[in-house]
């Protein structure tokens, strides 16, 4: 006899809580190899090391926020295909999360202490976006990925030149984010209207300023 188990709201809530804890406090493992595995580690002076760690902490927070945003959107998505797209997108960011965490350890640093706060804020934004409908959901994915891609570009410019390992991680992430945006566009994303992209940019600027230090 086959028993089909329906997910109750409580199951869903527990799934969400588990994902939040794994993302913010756990140690997620990557499915793909570490992009800097064979890249030489060149000694950085203490100031360069601190700067590189600050940038990688921002990138780690960016991935926490992307996961939270997509999970929040998926929780209220109406179309199962959109929901699957969002959960898959969140899953793919796990590699990025694990790689940034590893690079932070290599730089003798740590992820942001405020990750639970970044996660809950982004999750709430994801739920609000998701309630607007599925075309909007995908529009948020496109805007998030394009903004992350742009800030990765900026970080590639300002990383200490000798930090080849962080650079290799960011290059692969940047190519992935561009692909994520293209996939969401192909799946029917709507262009987000004024002032939403600007508000998202402002929120991410606040996050970057704080996460560089904390
Ligand atoms: Fe990512
Ligand atoms: Fe992405």
pLDDT tens profile 54-81: 999 999 999 999 989 888 988 998 888 8
1 pLDDT exceeds 70?
no
> Can you tell me the distance from the alpha carbon of 90 to that of 163, in angstroms, rounded to the nearest whole number?
28
Query: What is this structure's pTM?
Result: 0.88
What residue numbers does the annotated binding site for Fe cation cover?
A: 63, 93, 96, 145, 177, 180
Q: What is the pLDDT of residues 29-45, one digit of tens each?
A: 888 999 999 999 999 99
- Smallest CA-to-CA distance from 85 within 122, 43, 33, 139 is with 139
Ranges 4-8, 19-23, 169-173, 174-178: which has the least confidence: 4-8
Query: What are the residues whose beta carbon lies below 5 Å from ligand 2 (ion)?
Result: 145, 177, 180
Ligand nearest to the CA of 62: 1
Both structure tokens of 76: 């209220």
Please state, as a whole number, how many other Cβ atoms lie within 10 Å of the Cβ of residue 207.
Answer: 21
Phi-psi sector, 139: left (phi>0), alpha (psi -120 to 50), beta: alpha
Residue pair 184/145 in contact by the 8 Å Cβ criterion: yes
Confidence at residue 4, expressed as pLDDT on a 0 to 100 scale: 46
Please report which helix (H) or strand (E) contains residue 47, including its range.
helix 46-76
> Can you tell me the distance from the alpha carbon of 52 to that of 170, in angstroms, rounded to the nearest whole number?
12
| Average pLDDT of the residues of the chain | 88
Please state, as a whole number, how many other Cβ atoms lie within 10 Å of the Cβ of residue 178.
Answer: 15
Ligand nearest to the CA of 152: 1
Confidence at residue 97, expressed as pLDDT on a 0 to 100 scale: 93
Please give the average per-residue pLDDT across 5-32, as a whole number.
73
Confidence at residue 2, expressed as pLDDT on a 0 to 100 scale: 46
203 pLDDT exceeds 90?
no
């Amino acid at each position: 006899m086959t028993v089909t188990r329906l997910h109750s709201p409580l199951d869903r809530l527990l799934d969400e809580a588990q994902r939040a804890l794994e993302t913010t406090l756990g140690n997620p493992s990557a499915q793909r190899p570490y992009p800097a595995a064979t890249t030489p580690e060149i000694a950085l002076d203490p100031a360069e090391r601190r700067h590189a760690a600050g940038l990688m902490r921002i990138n780690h927070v960016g991935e926490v926020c992307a996961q939270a945003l997509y999970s929040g959107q998926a929780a209220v998505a109406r179309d199962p295909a959109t929901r699957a797209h969002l959960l898959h997108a969140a899953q793919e960011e796990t590699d990025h999360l694990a790689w940034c965490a590893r690079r932070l350890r290599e730089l003798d640093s740590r992820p942001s202490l405020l990750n639970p706060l970044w996660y809950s804020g982004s999750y709430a934004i994801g739920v609000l976006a998701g309630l607007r409908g599925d075309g909007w959901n995908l529009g948020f994915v496109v805007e998030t990925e394009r903004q992350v891609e742009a800030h990765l570009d900026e970080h590639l410019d300002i990383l200490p030149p000798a930090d080849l390992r962080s650079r290799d991680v960011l290059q692969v992430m940047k190519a992935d984010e561009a692909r994520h945006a293209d996939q969401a566009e192909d799946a029917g994303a709507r262009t987000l209207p004024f002032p939403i992209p600007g508000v998202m940019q402002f929120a991410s600027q606040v996050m970057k300023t704080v996460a560089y230090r904390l």
